[in-house]
Structure 1
Amino acid sequence: MKDLYASDALGADNSDVLATFGGPGMRHSIRPRRTVMDNEDEFDGDLSFEEPLPVAAPKITQYVSDDRAPRWQDLPIATPGPGGDMPLVDDHRNSAAARAFDLLRTRLRQTILEHGWVNIAVTAPTSGCGNTFSATNLALSLSRVPGSRTVLMDMNMRNPGLARAFDTDAPGAMSDLLAGRTSLGQQMVRVSDTLALGLNDQPEVNAAEILQDSATAETLLRMRATLQPEIVLYDMPPMLEHDDLSAFLPQLDGVLLISDGSQTMARHLRECERMLEGQVPLLGIVLNRARSSSLPKYA
């Protein structure tokens, strides 16, 4: 079981939660702010913070309703299977892991509601850091808020993984939806009254070009106008391996960065921060698989 450690997210009181789930651990801090690293390349799992990142001006977006598109309640229902390829905290609602993701969820919701944000990317510096795992479980936690609407989109078109995570079939290619070749009703599914998924059934080598296409912006605008979600989470490829996230920045209100305590280096985080600075707020860094030495001990 992993230890997940949630701390210092938005509140002034630094209250801590120690959780256990699947591999060494996690820390997260949710706030548009600057991370400060020393000169060591090896990341030791401890983050300090100083001045906030400059917050970009709110995007002025006109939602245009499409009467032909299905509404939230009209989306087809998909039932997740038992054989998903990653642990889902919904299967263990009394676990400390579920409580840790709930803490992350609540503080993220406070931030987006305060600023009127909707579109949040979940990404990582390099592959293998656990961003799909984090995006999936964060979406499940968000969906437990009564009356809410969360959309989770598989925008990692180079290596789609959400259909496997939920052990369900993807209706088609995400590239077809974004280009307007398939409709929302054909591509989007609901797994509950409060959670909808945009799944993908095939890799796409031209992902960055698709994400920069004006048709993609129009499709996502139509999706938000029709489904009226409170938050849209986009599971994205690693920032330092592809230009997909950079291509998609105009569509985003904020970014959550998933760091792996066993492989992420300080220079990786500095480079990710540099790429985002002045464009989109870095809402926080989630440290996955933290070293046990960096986690506090409780009697």
Structure 2
Amino acid sequence: MKDTYLTDATDRMVPSGGSFTRPRRFAVAEPLPDEVVLDLDAVQVPATVDAPLDAAPRDLWQLLHAQEPGKDQHILPGSQAEAEFRATDVSRAFDTLRTRLRQTMRQNGWRNIGVASPTGGCGNTFTAANLAASLARVPSSRTVLMDLNMRNPGLAHTLDMDASATGELRDFLAGDVAISDYILRASDTLAVGLGQAPQYDAAEILQDPATLESLAEMRAALRPDAVIYDLPPLLSYDDAAAFLPQLDGVLLVSDGTQTMARHIKECERVLDGQVPLLGVILNRARASSIESY
């Protein structure tokens, strides 16, 4: 899958007048008074209308609001726990996954990767956050991490970040909140989209054409090398299944203490014909199954 989006002379991701606090879409023009008659010969046409239709959207990465992750997390820089975690076999396993994934993405021209699990409690958000953090450690790269587990958003807690500092996820997806008012820059190479309150109409939101347009605009404006989507469990609701056509590949997270073979097979059936299954990640494996270095 390749990203497709329309661009025109008016950059809808950046509101006119230099403001980054107004919605980028669905603006309603003020009606003209009845007595006003337009003199079309006197209308001054802005020079920007002559710009090519395929002009690249403005790069908004440096204009995102920055928020440092808190100390009560071990995934991103900023705490002693992060330095200690980097020395573990688990962290090295994520770096290995990162490198293999980058190679596959470059070979296929991919950048939209979903991280899902068969059922809840498998460590899906932990995996998505660690993978995004590992990708973001590549110099001169850009990674966006999005919390699309809208029924049970957990990314803000995992990264110890304040989701209330931004607009609501559903409003961003609807096009009512500007990119720079929703996406937060956690570091020079990592941006995150957080969720706040649970959304019980998540499946409908993820199938809304406005959601697809908003995400396409986000990718065009931020120009990430990779977008990691933290998805809801595949077998619990139809939310993730509704979003599969927008992905280039899916990583499936299984739990060594609860995931069964039939769960994996059922997930393979859901993914079949929709999006490639890039691999199955075994979480909470026995310590003896992790090779020491």
TM-score, length-scaled by structure 1? 0.76
1: CA distance, partners of 2:139 / 2:114: 23
1:249 aligns to what SS in structure 2?
helix
The structure-2 alpha-carbon separation of the partners of 1:166 and 1:280, relative to structure 1 and needing over 3 Å to count, comes to same
2:259 aligns to what SS in structure 1?
coil
Could you tell me which runs of 5 or more consecutive residues in structure 1 were left unpaired when the two chains were aligned. Answer: 1-57
2: CA distance, partners of 1:213 / 1:67: 19
Task: Count residues with an aligned counterpart.
Answer: 239
Task: Give the structure 2 partner of residue 186 of structure 1.
Answer: 181
2: CA distance, partners of 1:276 / 1:224: 24
Task: Give the structure 2 partner of residue 210 of structure 1.
Answer: 205
1:156 aligns to what SS in structure 2?
coil
1: CA distance, partners of 2:111 / 2:76: 23
2:141 pairs with 1:148: yes
Report if aligned partners of 2:268, 2:277 keep a CA contact under 8 Å in 1: yes
Task: Give the structure 2 partner of residue 99 of structure 1.
Answer: 92
Of Structure 1 and Structure 2, the greater helix share is in: 2
Q: 1:87-123: per-residue Cα shift (whole Å, max 9, x none)?
A: 4275033332221111010000101111001111101
2: CA distance, partners of 1:156 / 1:185: 21
1:139 aligns to what SS in structure 2?
helix
Structure with the larger RCO, 1 or 2 (CA within 8 Å, 6+ apart): 1
2: CA distance, partners of 1:63 / 1:165: 35
Task: Give the structure 1 partner of residue 269 of structure 2.
Answer: 274
**Which range is displaced more, 239-248 or 68-77?**
68-77
Q: 1:45-69: per-residue Cα shift (whole Å, max 9, x none)?
A: xxxxxxxxxxxxx346246364616
1: CA distance, partners of 2:246 / 2:272: 15
Pairs within 5 Å for 1:23-172:
58-59=1-2, 61-62=4-5, 64=7, 66=12, 68=14, 71-84=60-73, 87-88=74-75, 91=82, 92=84, 93-170=86-163, 171-172=166-167
Pairs within 5 Å for 1:234-273:
234-273=229-268
How far apart are 1:75 and its partner, in Å?
Answer: 0.4
Q: Match of 1:233, as an amino acid?
A: I
Q: Match of 2:197, as an amino acid?
A: Q
2:65 aligns to what SS in structure 1?
coil
2: CA distance, partners of 1:174 / 1:162: 12
TM-score, length-scaled by structure 2? 0.77
CA RMSD across the alignment: 1.9
4+ residue runs over 3 A deviation: 62-67, 296-299
Report if aligned partners of 1:63, 1:224 keep a CA contact under 8 Å in 2: no
The structure-2 alpha-carbon separation of the partners of 1:168 and 1:60, relative to structure 1 and needing over 3 Å to count, comes to closer
How far apart are 1:157 and its partner, in Å?
Answer: 0.6
Q: Match of 2:143, as an amino acid?
A: T
How far apart are 1:172 and its partner, in Å?
Answer: 3.1
2:162 pairs with 1:175: no
Q: Match of 2:71, as an amino acid?
A: P
2: CA distance, partners of 1:298 / 1:121: 28
1:256 aligns to what SS in structure 2?
strand
1: CA distance, partners of 2:3 / 2:121: 35
1:285 aligns to what SS in structure 2?
strand
